[in-house]
Amino acid sequence: MTPASTSLTNDNFARVRARWRSLLTLGPSPRPSDPDVIAGLERQAATARRFWSSLQTSADRAFLWPDLANPSEPGQVAESYNRLRVLALAYATPGSSLQNAPKLKADLLGALDWLSANGYNEQKTKVGNWWYWEIGIPLALNDIVILLNEALSADQISQFMGAIDHFTPVVKYTGANLVWLATIIAIRAAIVESDQKLVAARDGLSPVFRYVTSGDGFYADGSFIQHEAHPYNGGYGAALLANLSSLLYALTGSPWQVKDPNQRNVFRWIYDSFEPLIYKGAMMDLVRGREIARTTNSDHASGHGVIGSILLLSEIAPPADAAAFKSMVKGWIQADQYRDFLKTAPVPMLGLAKAVREDPSVTPPSAPVRHQAYPSMDRIVHRRPSYAFAISMSSQRIFNYESINQENLHGWYTGDGMTYLYNEDLAQYADGFWPTVDPYRLPGTTVAAVKRADGSGANYRSPSTWTGGAVLLDRFGATGMDLRAWNDLVSAKKSWFSFDDEIVALGAGISSSTPDPVETIVENRRLTSTSAPAFQVDGASKPTTLGWSELLARPTWLHLEGTGGYYFPVPTSIHALREARTGVWYDIDHLYGAKTSLSRVYLTLWIDHGINPASASYAYVLLPNQTAEATQKYASKPPIQILENSAKVQAVRQLGLGILAANFWEDTVHQVDVLTSDRAASVLLRETTASNGESVLDLAIADPTQANDGTITIEIARSAGQVLATDPGLAVSQLSPTIRLVVAVKEARGKTFQARLQVAKS
């Protein structure tokens, strides 16, 4: 062990250990007599009893658990330590029915000695997955030593801590991996009372606080990337936040409290990188990577983990941020009617959560009206009070999907423009969606019906850079993706224009050389198990029986009860299918997947572009949460005009909002309506009348390719009287007879530039 610095007292280390122990047991705000805490402790004890009952305790044992019989396999060693951690929690947590149980203590100590001798010690050489040796095992072992400290001998602690120092001696790596290592080294240092190691761990966190412009980490636009080019706010980003919030809490008030001024970015992450991506307690799947395929890791479970981290941060955040965080948490806890946070959260979080829930001064935030673009990870989120709509894309910058360690084996098209609709059906993506949905027909995608092998095409980078869009007034968005699918299966220009009550989806230039049908999937919705939602076609009800299918001949509008409406501005034949689908989690995740068969009912709608389409197109409007009556009314007098839908430009006008939105696909001069662009660009233009009667133009312009090292020139066939506001980098070079704007987009990284002009009086 490294001796403690003479300038420090043992009390400093003891305080860090005590704060960490509180995070493992009853939490910073313990409520041992609270019914929910008692119930949580009993759940914890029940799991411990289950593991304890199958723990091998004989002197000649060759393993600790029959299903973890190979002490040379690091994953099994890590899981053995995880189970011992569960037993240690039950033994050490005040109020647990197994607290201080003598037999449990003896069995725990014996198991730890056996595992140290046979699975993890300083003489072992790393084999297999490095993560288990450097992160998975030491995380659990540190916690066990903190929990059992008084029961362990000095020799045992020295042996266990020596093994951790052997495999995890210094802070390295990036993103979540870096924070895991810093946490391990810091908590080990508190155990062995090493000032040097604690300082190194604290200082090793600094790279994480800084925004990055490439590779792993948090980006200024709110994106989080791990594994080089995978969006992971809700996976590795959530794990990073959980460990970082715990470590910051443990070190607060100690000589090792983090002093890096960039630490303030952690609080900004909550607003930019997490809050927009949580819908009523659920973390959106489009930022959870391969974790979507894990049996027990639903979007609500992931979201609740982030909620717990934000709760903990509210204990150490500046007052204004702490108040905002508590408001968010209260809103999510109240809104999540699918998974009750107070019935499922870890015991240490319950006291904090209950305090927030019971505090009348904490009020949930208003329902969001927000359009959030994440150009650094090719994701879009459109929020309205009654729904959220999200798009998952990919490009030359962002991989299409991740499949490693035999996980997420059917994620083939999740990054090809898959769309998500979140509404009152909070179980949509949580209740067996991923193992039962048709992975070849994910909503929003345009795909060739080619049989795919497990994990095929993972980590594919498209040759195209055009993915992204522009955001107007933080409320409206133009989004596009130049789809160049893996293995040259399909190419297409795909756009989504997001307004208040509708999302206009356009596709053009759809081509494929495969001898298989090419389809655009309008919808693939998991239906509730308690009812058979009605489906209407131009007002006529269709059968709700399973197995029903029909080619709908050129409908104008469709409506699915509980989901919303669909309007088709261009006559299009639509295939419809209502079916029960059966699947097994193991089929999509061989590492963690359960083998229990599941069955779920889906309604699927798709457009068949035929075999070898040369330049096919589509157009439809999504009307989330709209009634059948509202959908029919919309279709009878649509406020949408499609101005152009080609491989050069896709543009629409929303008459009621006064918005013109366009995606220009090429670096050539092209005009649509009153807009002309000389480069590839995404543009929105809105004209409104101010309170003084003056007309005002609001402009939003972006370079979705992020490859333009010069400028974009936009010309508008209108005259302006004066410039009211512009973002840095946007210059108005002419006000009449036309308006001309020049935007310097070099290294703008997909950022939207906005301007406001007063329209010249005619």
Catalytic residues, by residue number, are 236
Tokens 């807009």 — which residue? Answer: 675
Distance CA 667, CA 58 (A): 73
Torsion angle of C-alpha atoms 542, 544, 548, 553, degrees rounded to 10: 20
| Identity of residue 742 | V
Nearest to 344 by CA among 567, 644, 36, 565: 36
| Spatial distance between the Cα atoms of 321 and 317, rounded to a whole number of angstroms | 6
Name the 3-class secondary structure at 659. Answer: strand
CA-based max dimension of the chain: 95
CB neighbours of residue 296 within 10 Å? 8
| Contact by Cβ (8 Å): 244, 205 | yes
| Sign of the four-CA dihedral 396, 398, 403, 409 | negative
Asked if 444 contacts 419 with a C-beta cutoff of 8 angstroms, the reply is yes
Give the number of other Cβ atoms within 10 Å of residue 463's Cβ. Answer: 10
Q: Which residue's entry shows tokens 């909002």?
A: 657
Do residues 351 and 30 lie in contact, with contact meaning Cβ atoms separated by under 8 Å? yes
Q: What CA–CA distance (Å, rounded) separates 63 from 115? A: 8
Residue 302 β-bridge partners: none
647: which residues sit within 8 A by CB, 6+ positions away? 493, 508, 509, 615, 665
CA angle 687, 690, 692 (to 5 degrees): 145
Judging by beta carbons within 10 Å of its beta carbon (0-12, 13-18, 19+), is residue 636 exposed, middle or buried?
Answer: exposed
For residues 752 and 683, give the distance between their C-alpha atoms in angstroms, rounded to a whole number: 9
Q: Which residues contact 241 (CB under 8 A, 6 or more apart)?
A: 269, 274, 306, 309, 310
Beta bridge partners of 730: 743
Give yes or no for a contact between 325 and 314, defined as CB atoms under 8 angstroms apart.
yes
Token pair listed for 9: 């007292």
> How many residues appear in the chain?
762
**Amino acid occupying residue 542:** K
- CB 692, CB 461: distance < 8 Å: no
Write out the H or E segment, with its range, that includes residue 371: strand 370-374
- For 386, the token pair is 């009654």
Cβ count within 10 A of residue 124: 17
Cα dihedral 624, 629, 630, 636 in deg (nearest 10): 120
- What DSSP element (H or E) covers 308? helix 299-313
Spatial neighbors of 535 by CB under 8 A, at least 6 apart, are: 541, 542, 544, 558, 559, 560, 561, 576, 578, 603
Distance, in Å, from the CA atom of 436 to the CA atom of 428, rounded to the nearest integer, reads 12
Backbone angles phi, psi at 123, to 5 degrees: -90, -10
> 475 is written with which tokens?
């409320």
Alpha helices in 522-627 (DSSP H): 585-588
Q: What angle do the packed helices 347-358 and 35-54 form, to 10 degrees?
A: 170
